[in-house]
Amino acid sequence: MLISGNICRKLTNHQFLNFHQTGKRTIMPYRISVDTGGTFTDVVVTDETGRFTVGKALTDRSRAFSSIDAGLQVAAEQLNKNVPTLLKETDLFIYGTTRATNGIVERKIARTAFLTTEGFPDILLLKEGGKTEPHNLAMHYPEPYVARSLTYEIPERISAEGDVERPLDELTCKALLEEMKNNNIEAIAVCLLWSISNPAHELRLAELIEEVLPGIPYTLSHLINPILREYRRASSTAIDASLKPLMQNYLLNLQKDLREAGYTNDILVSTSFGGVMHLDDIVEKPIYLVKSGPAMAPIAGLTYVASEGLSGDIIVCDAGGTTFDVSLVRDGTIEFSRDTWLGPQWIGDNLGMASVAVHSLGAGGGSIAWVDSGGLLRVGPQSAGSEPGPACYGLGGEEPTVTDAAVVLGYIDPEHFLGGRMKLDKKAAENAVAELGHKLGENLDRTAFAIITVANENMIEAVKELTINEGIDPSESVLVAGGGAGGLGIVPIATELGCKTILVPRTAGALSAAGMQFSDIITETGASRLTTSDNFDFEGVTNALNKIDEQLDCFKENLAKRGINEVEKRYFVEARYRFQVWELEIEIKDNNFKEQSDVEDLVQRFHQMHERVFAIIDEGQIVECLNWRGRLVGKVNATSLEPSRVSENLTAKSERQKIVNFGHTSENTAIFSGDSLLVGAKVQGPAIIEEPTSTLVVYPGSSVVVSDGGRYIISV
């Protein structure tokens, strides 16, 4: 988990752990994690024994708590409780949502003003090239994140050394702020040149904003993302500011609704770092919400795979109703990226901050199948979402989706969807798919299988982009299948990629929500200091690392007061060969740079990373170091894994059988309930295993064994 914000604040009644005035923690039996996606809201409840109870409900886009309450009712019913009682007996509530990401992509954000140094108004327009063909003068730049008409140039200038070359013109600034008041500005992003060297002008602008426009939220670049790259710092600042009105209202309403429903303890929110922040902090820095949901899936995947003693190289696939998300774990470490684009690379918007490396595309269960102008079948990225949803939901949807195709082929039983709580309309699914088939000149079954096949190919390409394109062989990794739609096509996906082992947890339908249950507490802070290996600035780097260490130690003290004493510090630097454009993040052994041997160790680590990523090293080249970071990991007693259920009979018996279409053949297929498959049970394909929140299709030629941990291990 990640707790950030003002890490030196004193403990209050909004702490990570709940304390009485005596300093002792209130022990309660339950912990709840929730992931609100575009189609479904997943609820995971764990008790002190590690038992997982999963609830799932369609997402209500108008108010977060409506769908959360519906999912809680499902979980509470399984626990023989009502929702108010469950909430009163809950120790911790962790929440994740795609609302921030969707707001950026759909441009449902606040009317934001961008304040930058005079002479640099096009930072958000030019980006890092700003178009896919930078030398094509006939190609126009896409619209910047903040409209050019809402960009204001501030008369000031600070040098790279932090010297004031031109004082801040406060009279002009006040006049511009008055103009913003008349322009219905809802949020302000402030990114001045070299504020990371001297933030005085940004801080003074903040005072003027509070004086002229009291109550208008704003973000200062040197506080949100103190890095050298101007566009990325500006982009982070603009994104954060634009999300504040939206997410403040959204999260504070959620907090209010939870309190009224009877929950009295802490509310934490998942972040793009793969951790959590307190709700009060995330309201101040909503940029950490972007891609926060998918960031939790690899945490769950790593936990499950490690418990099974399988390979440390993992590909985590999370196929929900709207998107298919892919992330990597290499040598037991989750892959992070500081190059996260929302939308197409170069012409989209760069988050500018570290996040779990997740590749997402519109290929979930609700993805719509359609025919393009050339007569080719396409699937996604458009999604039916939860409103109106796939045609089989019976809520007014008429366009065919992946879920509709799965119903037609027999993969999903209309009577057992979501454990039988939601009946599907098979006839509506057949009508939607048949209409698409008429356009393609194909019959019903061939059209449905084509939809599944195209969706699988989209997913395969997403995995290849994150693995093969980066020099990683997917066949050497364990494939983890998550999401409600993850089990529908995971076998053909693994076959195409050459993966020999697939792991499917029983909680696959709520993989991201489950990941929230296993997180450590993590905080990260950074500082910029440019230096080179041939003329290393020992004093400057030491000062930067000492500044980082002071902030980490402050957070460490707060963790100790909360009863968390097992902590680990890790240090990183963003470095590159001289004349290269992009940096690699290198872990350094500690924060101690006192002699040349320390520099040589850093350079050697950089060479090793460069060879791993690019398959080449240049040992004679000078290494430049730009940004330094420190990360503190607080080890907590995470939720135990769900208890295993041992079987006395290794040969599983199916509940029923039916004809299922696998494209090249239709076969009599055994249908199993997940509850009936205990540890050691073996299932030979073709078969279908129905869990309350997901469906696993075991294709002919593959087999499943229920592992010692109670999870499904598929051999392809």
Residues making up the chain, counted from first to last: 716
Check residue 639 and give its pLDDT: 64
Please choose, from the candidates 258, 341, 298, 352, the residue with its C-alpha nearest in 3D space to the C-alpha of residue 34. 258
Give pTM, 2 decimals.
Answer: 0.84
pLDDT digits (tens, 9 = 90+) for 537-579: 999 999 999 988 988 888 788 777 766 788 889 899 999 999 8
* DSSP string for 169-213: -HHHHHHHHHHHHHTT--EEEEE-TTTTT--HHHHHHHHHHHHHS
DSSP 8-state class, residue 424 = -
Burial of 676 (0-12, 13-18, 19+ CB in 10 A): middle
Q: What is the pLDDT of residues 11-42, one digit of tens each?
A: 333 333 333 333 444 456 899 999 998 788 99
pLDDT on residue 12: 33
Bridge-based pairing state of the strands 682-684 and 623-634:
unpaired
Contacts of 2 (CB under 8 A, 6+ apart): 271, 273, 274, 275, 276, 277, 288, 519, 521, 522, 523, 524
**Of 123, 109, 110, whose CA–CA distance to 152 is shortest?**
123
Which tokens sit at 43? 């609820």
Residues of the chain with pLDDT under 50: 1-26, 648
Cβ neighbour number for residue 178 with a 10 Å cutoff:
12
Alpha helix ranges (H) inside 410-489: 426-440, 444-466
- pLDDT at 117 (0 to 100): 97
| The two structure tokens encoding residue 351 | 């988050």
How many Cα atoms sit within 13 Å of 521 on the Cβ side?
25
Give the residue ranges of DSSP H helices in 313-443. Answer: 402-409, 426-440
- R_g of the chain, CA atoms, integer Å: 26
Per-residue CA distances from 556 to 88, 257, 279, 533 (Å): 30, 32, 20, 31
Tell me phi and psi for residue 37, to 5 degrees: -100, -175
pLDDT of residue 21: 32
Whole-number Å distance between alpha carbons of 219 and 479: 40
Q: What are phi and psi of 497, to 5 degrees?
A: -80, -15
- Confidence at residue 523, expressed as pLDDT on a 0 to 100 scale: 75
The sign of the torsion formed by the CA atoms of 417, 419, 422, 423 equals: positive
Question: Which DSSP helix (H) or strand (E) runs through 149?
Answer: none
d(CA 445, CA 449): 6
